[in-house]
Amino acid sequence: MNKTGAEIKPILVSLFRYSLQDHEAMANTYPHVLADLGRTVDVHHFCGKGKTRHWLADQAGVCVHELPVSFRRGCEMDKWTKTLLWYFISLRAAWWARRHNANLIYIEDSLPWLPLLLAWVAACPVAMSAADIFWDVYLPDNGITGRLKRVLLRLDVLVWKRLHGLITHTQTFKEYAVSQGLPANRIFVVPEACEDTSFRRMDRNTARQAAGYKGDEQVVLHHGILVPNKALDRLLEFIAPVLQERPHLRLEFAGDGPMRNKLEAEAKMLHIQRQVRFLGWLPNVAQLNILLNAADVSVVMRAGRLSDHFQVTANLLHSLACGSPILAARLKGIAELVRDGENGLLFNPSDGDECRRQLVRLLDDEPLRRRLAEAALKTAQEQLNPRRITSAWAAAIRILMTDPEMGMQ
């Protein structure tokens, strides 16, 4: 154990399956949380292997342990195979925690049942981040899989009840967890931050020129991995009539994933393929920042399942950080940040008529777009300021480490 004078610092074991570089690409706050904790806590972060040395490895009070696995997030087969492997590899972190009498293992991930496995090996308190419900995201509601999902959801709740605590990003998830019998005082709500280094406001004309947009062209942008739970095929169907009526309008998808072929086929079937562009994964974050500043509308879509109400997507956070005009699915977690008519427009993700009305309203009213964009940027800079969120997140983990009554057992 490390000592500061005669004082022994408490030990935190932090765990996340992706490399620190990948983590920063998704949300760059957590490494700063660990750096903050390192001022008073002996932090040991276990993660996947990165290609380069991360700045966190040079922070006082923090030791980064890269485990022998690296993920290719753009490849579904690679991601899922190595996620299964992670259940075994991560036991090294639990064994380390046991040998060094760690005060807490904190899992910055929501993989099912992993906390119980680590707690059994480590024999120390375990807390976790809870941003969504794994089974609800990936299993359909109907048939045998639907019945299986309901059983698995009940098992998830039993796992949560045995944890030392939960940190979640929406009040909606906390309310759900409390409704399932978890004590409210052991659940901390810490919103996700809007990054202000990679994603930031640019001059719009400069951004449009860099993106190659023409003067009268209007662009609706969606960015992120193309997966079924985002219901992007439904979004295409919703927006198709607007595209058909407006030849100067274009819909762009920045990202890739298992739904791409289906979406391309859907665009052809709807006869809008000339106005829908699939950009794939962009070469760098700077290019995405340009597109978010250049687009007329940034759209955030989800299918509307139970778990979708708990998520605040990276798509939304990046759009707020850039001050984009936002059109988002009306889901409870999203509505905690996007107030309809104030800093964005919302629509029922099952209502194509409302989606089209709100989209047309944005496209036809430039002063409205400017007003909503300014309010979105203000939300990012004030409510979701990364320094404010870092402090709140670190404070929650410190409480979990020091309060022996926090356990949910």
The string of DSSP letters for 221-258 reads EEES---GGG-HHHHHHHHHHHHHH-TTEEEEEEB--T
pLDDT along the chain (409 residues), means of 10: 62 93 75 96 95 92 93 73 90 96 93 90 93 68 73 82 93 93 93 89 95 93 92 97 96 94 97 96 93 97 90 92 97 96 97 98 97 97 94 96 61
pLDDT at 21: 83
Nearest to 65 by CA among 78, 54, 79, 81: 54
Predicted structure pTM score = 0.88
pLDDT at 145: 72
The DSSP code for 102 is -
pLDDT at 4: 47
Q: Specify the CATH superfamily of domain 204-383.
A: Glycogen Phosphorylase B; (3.40.50.2000)
Give Rg (Cα) of the chain: 22
Please state the domain extents for the chain.
3-193+385-406, 204-383
Fold of 3-193+385-406: Rossmann fold (3.40.50)
Longest dimension (CA), the chain: 74
pLDDT at 72: 77
Q: Is 3-193+385-406's fold the same as 204-383's?
A: yes
Helix 232-245 × helix 260-269 angle, to 10°: 30
* Region class of 196: left (phi > 0), else alpha (psi between -120 and 50), else beta: alpha
Segment (H or E) for 7: strand 7-8
